Amino acid sequence: MTTTTPAPSRRQMLNKVPEVTVFFWVIKILCTTVGESFADYVNETLGFGLTNTTVLFTVALVAVLVAQFRSRRYVPGIYWLAVVLISVVGTLLTDNLTDAHGVPLWISSTGFAVLLAVVFGAWYARERTLSIHSITTTPREGWYWLVVLVTFALGTAVGDWTLELTGWSPGASILLPAGLIALVLVAWRAGLGPVLSFWLAYVLTRPLGANIGDFLASPHADGGLGLGTLVTSVVFLATILATVVFLSITKVDRTSPVREV
């Protein structure tokens, strides 16, 4: 950790993302589960279709991101609503490639991985930092949300590809991303850089949340709990709402605007 004092700037804002606490990871996993289950509910159960569902959630995401960018500080309700919607849109990006255009999952996984590396490279070349504790200008916030979108699409593709290769049940499929996240935690404790550790865990929480959603929603015959996509979405959205209200009141996840990783 180092502490720097940035020069005053008309564009300087309070840090626009929350502190990385246990609440951050809990809501992130909940959001990824909602991204999987709610997209499936609207697309399949309500019969909106893949294209209409994508348009619907993309428009909603743009509207919330406008509010997020206009805010000059971290607002839990706006921020986490953007994460919920971007999780749905990221899921739908991969679903469109796979279901609507027949792109093999290994190709979409590779493509999104390359895209993520390119975006990270461009972000670092422009800003000289990938720390989420430095999202204090509009350009950095733009890079941040672009990376978040690509990580959701990549996590969806890699998670689905893994299931395609292994044929695991919904319950067993939770173990792989959970185990990899545990390895990242151990590596971080052993000295792996905090920025790299954070983004590795961030990508891995996407397949973890999606697999949890599949396990809860899938019928008993397929190895799931049979709750269905609607019940799963409602339960997780309610939990997200309760946690966001708690964070809004306690402010325990606010960060300093000058702290760098």
Q: Average the pLDDT over 88-115 and give the result.
A: 93
Kindly state the tokens that stand for 83.
């994460």
Whole-number Å distance between alpha carbons of 217 and 202: 23
Whole-number Å distance between alpha carbons of 121 and 127: 10
Is the dihedral angle over the CA atoms 259, 82, 31, 170 positive or is it negative?
negative
pLDDT of 13 above 80: no
pLDDT of 59 above 90: yes
Q: Is 71 exposed, middle or buried (0-12, 13-18, 19+ CB in 10 A)?
A: middle
Higher pLDDT pick, 183 / 13: 183
- What was the pLDDT predicted at 10? 39
pLDDT of 51 above 80: yes
- What was the pLDDT predicted at 218? 85
Report domain extents, the chain: 16-251
- Do the Cβ atoms of 114 and 61 come closer than 8 Å? no
Kindly report the pTM of this predicted structure. 0.86
Angle of CA points 188, 193, 198, to nearest 5° = 70
256 confidence band (pLDDT: 50, 70, 90): low
DSSP assignment string, 140-179: HHHHHHHHHHHHHHHHHHHHHHHHHHH---TTGGGHHHHH
- What was the pLDDT predicted at 1? 40
